[in-house]
Amino acid sequence: MDKPVAKIGLKHGSGGRAMRQLIEDVFLTLASPVDGIGLSALDDGAAIRVGDRWLVVTTDSHVVHPIFFPGGDIGRLSVSGTVNDLAMMGATEPLGLTCAVVLEDGFPRADLERVVASMRETAREANAPIVTGDTKVMGKDEVDGIVLNTTGVALAERVVSDAGLRAGDLLIVTGTIGDHGMAIMSRRHDLRLEGDLRSDVAPLNGLVREALRAGGEDVVAMKDPTRGGVAGVLHEMAAKGKVGIVIDETALPVRDEVRAAGEMIGIDPLLVANEGKAVIAVRARAADKVLAALRAHPLGASATVIATAIAERPGAVILDTGFGKRMLAEPEGELLPRIC
Amino acid sequence: MAGKDLFQELKFRDPVRARALAEAIAREVDAIGRTVPVMHVCGSHEQAIARFGLRAVLPPGLELIMGPGCPVCVTDGPEVDEAVALALQGARVCTYGDMLRLPGTARSLADAQADGAKVEVVYSVSQAVELAQKHPEDEVVFLGSGFETTAVATAAVALASPPKNFSILSVHKYVPAAMNVVAESPQTNIEGYIAAGHAAIITGWGIFEPFAARTGKPVVVAGFEPLDILAAILQLVELMRQGKAEVANVYPRCVTKEGNLPAQRSLWKVFRPVTGTWRGIAEVRDGNLDLRPEYAHLDARKRFRIDTAPVRDEDAEEAAKGCICGSIMLGLANPGDCALFGKTCVPESPVGACMVSSEGQCRIWHTYGGVPDLRKVGT
């Protein structure tokens, strides 16, 4: 056990072990019993039973630097992130989204309008109406530019938790991994890499709808690999499902640009954030059907089976590199490029 | 070399070839008929071995041990103290990233930075020179760490008449000296060595011939791709089975017998080998690279009075109790043998030096999960 820290650091927001520890130590004290999936499940959102259906609720605050990046911007990110969290619970038809914005004194109006236009367009793409909001302005240097919070609600017939894995299940990733995080890092650290590094940020509810239609009850767990990347998601699924997971590294869909950038700065694409991908666990018998449905959708063209759940080593994630096997560590803190 | 052959040659990540090499290694180890401990002396080798899970395909009879091959890990506490003292005295101290979090006797450069000292991470020594040009009002001190590879870059800058406000605090180390320490340690039982390819690019593989002759142990120079490493291990166990204390080079695309002669000339023009203390290992004969007297004007130790009166930090001393980095660097223990590993000593808050750098063995094992027996899992 780590000694509790006196101050919150950047690592506590990076989607890894430190963040999970903070949530468990501090925020879980807020959890109270709920008929369905509540805070204590630490899933993508909550699911509260309403009659014979489920009300799914999720919320997310978005900060990203820079706010405009190759392939997207904070507006598209804020709508997609919340739509995707709903979708990962099986709720692919959002009833509505809220939008709360905190702005820094001096934030350019033109940038705000550009962000809002992007939100409008993404909301239309996801068929997710934005129904209410809130605006605050803080002093210079009291907030970094803009913080966007979005909350989403939806009704679902069936909820897919992230704890449903059994030995023998297959794990599918819906497309190339690491695109968002590597694009952001490349821009943030001014790496001036050749090639086309672009974020994958997109709303996934349409894609997930197709997977659920094809797989039905055989879709047993879903999660979008944002902070902490695919590695973080697989660790969570392995721990909650009490199974081991073996990843076939040679099967991972990774764009050449992302792979090259990763090698250069010493960061594994498995640990890097995605904003337009899902990890979908299915019973083996449904894998072909679900894969075909995903690949027929424009956002799932390179969907691939990347891993298998096993009964041995519950909670462990093992990487088969093609040369040998090793443990895949849980993402720890801020990803920093290698210096030398 | 014909185009097709060249392409084949460049397929360093071919799992089929890797399996064939691993099988050949197993046959050689079988023929030797007992456990054979071999050491690689380089953090980058450990990185590749762990990253690609190579230990899981090697035969159980081959014990692959990492030696003192991370320059950050072997930089001694008092050397860090000198840099911290200079920073606290007002100098702008520049160094490579990993050096920032390396614990000194009481404080790290990161601690000094948090206290308001000017400490900057640079990607190369020439960036430090640029900072000196940009800040003529500051004394810019480059904390030069690393083995031959980075020492050559530091030497090149020293030879290029850097600005007057630029100086060097050298904690550069010399790889062949490290191998002598291991070979001469009474507890060691290493039977063969894999030498670091990048350092050998500078020094040439011939430099290991006296070592092999003196110790009676074979040495193989290797690159850093998985097939490079497996090929080196195969060559090493072949030599061991044949009882030959020879030097082989399986990295001929980069390393020659003589090495890079102009680089060696620059290196020895600026630096001289001196005996110094390596962290966790004690004194290493000719293990440190100091600036020659002709370059005293660039030598931070000559230019400034560095006051490193020890500041005790009881918390740090308490935390460091039980740290076994020294034994790990000498190949006498594994990170898993340390009571602090993964508990109080983690990459976010390292207690020992081996957890600091991405080339340190504890850090690598923490990242890649060490060496659990995964030979049969999930197959």
Give me the mean pLDDT over the B270-291 stretch: 92
pLDDT at A296 over 70: yes
Residue A15's pLDDT band (boundaries 50, 70, 90)?
low
Beta carbons of B40 and B331 less than 8 angstroms apart: no
- By C-alpha distance, the chain B residue nearest A12 is B348
Rg of chain B over all Cα atoms, to the nearest angstrom: 21
Report how many Cβ contacts below 8 Å link chain A to chain B. Answer: 88
Q: CA A314: distance to chain centroid?
A: 23
Catalogue the E-assigned strands of chain A: 36-37, 46-50, 53-62, 68-69, 72-73, 94-104, 130-138, 146-156, 170-173, 219-223, 244-248, 279-282, 304-310, 317-320, 325-327
- Separation in Å, CA A334 to CA A5, A10, A11, A234, B354: 16, 7, 5, 18, 20
Q: Are A322 and B13 within 8 A, CB to CB?
A: yes
Mean pLDDT for all residues in chain B: 89
Copy the structure tokens of residue B361: 């063995």
pLDDT at B5 over 60: no
Q: Judging by beta carbons within 10 Å of its beta carbon (0-12, 13-18, 19+), is residue B63 exposed, middle or buried?
A: middle
Copy the structure tokens of residue B278: 């390596």
pLDDT at A332 over 80: no
Q: What percent of chain B has pLDDT over 90?
A: 61
CA neighbours within 13 Å on the CB side: how many for A42?
17
For the stretch B158-190, pLDDT in tens is 999 999 999 999 999 998 888 888 888 888 889
Rg of chain A over all Cα atoms, to the nearest angstrom: 19
Supply the pLDDT for residue B239.
97
- Of B369, B338, B371, the residue nearest B353 (C-alpha): B338
Q: Are B50 and A326 within 8 A, CB to CB?
A: yes
- By C-alpha distance, the chain B residue nearest A5 is B349
Q: Judging by beta carbons within 10 Å of its beta carbon (0-12, 13-18, 19+), is residue A262 exposed, middle or buried?
A: buried
Determine the Cα–Cα distance for residues B365 and B361; give it in Å rounded to an integer.
6
B interface toward A at CB cutoff 8 Å? Answer: 13, 15, 18, 50-57, 96-98, 121, 123, 146, 150, 226, 343-344, 346-348, 358, 366-370, 372, 374-375, 377-378
- Of A160, A163, A173, the residue nearest A91 (C-alpha): A160
Residue A333's pLDDT band (boundaries 50, 70, 90)?
low
Determine the Cα–Cα distance for residues A240 and B106; give it in Å rounded to an integer.
41
For the stretch A182-216, pLDDT in tens is 999 888 777 766 578 999 999 999 999 999 999 99
Give me the mean pLDDT over the A122-126 stretch: 98
Supply the pLDDT for residue B367.
84
Q: Are A324 and B56 within 8 A, CB to CB?
A: yes
pLDDT at B7 over 60: no
Give me the mean pLDDT over the A95-121 stretch: 97
Mean pLDDT for all residues in chain A: 91
Spell out the residues 6+ positions from residue A28 whose beta carbon is closer than 8 angstroms to its own.
Answer: A39, A40, A42
Residue A335's pLDDT band (boundaries 50, 70, 90)?
low
Lowest mean per-residue pLDDT among A289-303, B81-95, B280-294, B353-367 = B353-367
Lowest mean per-residue pLDDT among A127-136, B73-82, B98-107 = B98-107
Residue B379's pLDDT band (boundaries 50, 70, 90)?
low
Report for A219-223, A260-264, B184-188: range of highest mean pLDDT: A219-223
Determine the Cα–Cα distance for residues A252 and A175; give it in Å rounded to an integer.
9
Q: CA A256: distance to chain centroid?
A: 22
Q: Report DSSP letters for A297-331, one per residue.
A: SGGGTT-EEEEEEESSSTT-EEEE-SS-EEEPPPP
Beta carbons of A290 and A219 less than 8 angstroms apart: yes
Supply the pLDDT for residue A340.
34
Lowest mean per-residue pLDDT among A116-120, B185-189, B266-270 = B185-189
Supply the pLDDT for residue A307.
98
Beta carbons of B235 and B192 less than 8 angstroms apart: no
Supply the pLDDT for residue B349.
79
Count of all residues that appear for chain A in the document? 340
Lowest mean per-residue pLDDT among A77-86, B57-66, B276-285, B364-373 = B364-373
pLDDT at B314 over 90: no
Residue B319's pLDDT band (boundaries 50, 70, 90)?
low
Residue with tokens 């007992």: B34
pLDDT at B373 over 80: no
Supply the pLDDT for residue B316.
65
Cβ contacts (< 8 Å) between B376 and chain A: which residues? none
Residue with tokens 């110790």: B215
Give me the mean pLDDT over the B4-25 stretch: 75
For the stretch A34-70, pLDDT in tens is 999 999 988 889 999 999 999 999 999 999 888 999 9
Measured N-to-C along each axis, helices A205-215 and A74-88 cross at an angle, to the nearest 10 degrees, of 20
Q: Are B368 and A333 within 8 A, CB to CB?
A: no
Report for A7-16, A167-176, A185-194, B74-83: range of highest mean pLDDT: A167-176
Q: What percent of chain B has pLDDT over 70?
A: 92
Supply the pLDDT for residue B106.
83
Supply the pLDDT for residue B185.
82
Beta carbons of A204 and A299 less than 8 angstroms apart: yes
Copy the structure tokens of residue B17: 């070839």
Residue B81's pLDDT band (boundaries 50, 70, 90)?
very high
Residue A246 has its nearest CB partner, among B372, B375, B377, at B377
Phi, psi angles (nearest 5°) of residue B349: -140, 80
Residue B378 has its nearest CB partner, among A18, A308, A336, at A308
Q: CA B19: distance to chain centroid?
A: 28
Supply the pLDDT for residue A20.
82
Determine the Cα–Cα distance for residues B359 and B325; give it in Å rounded to an integer.
13
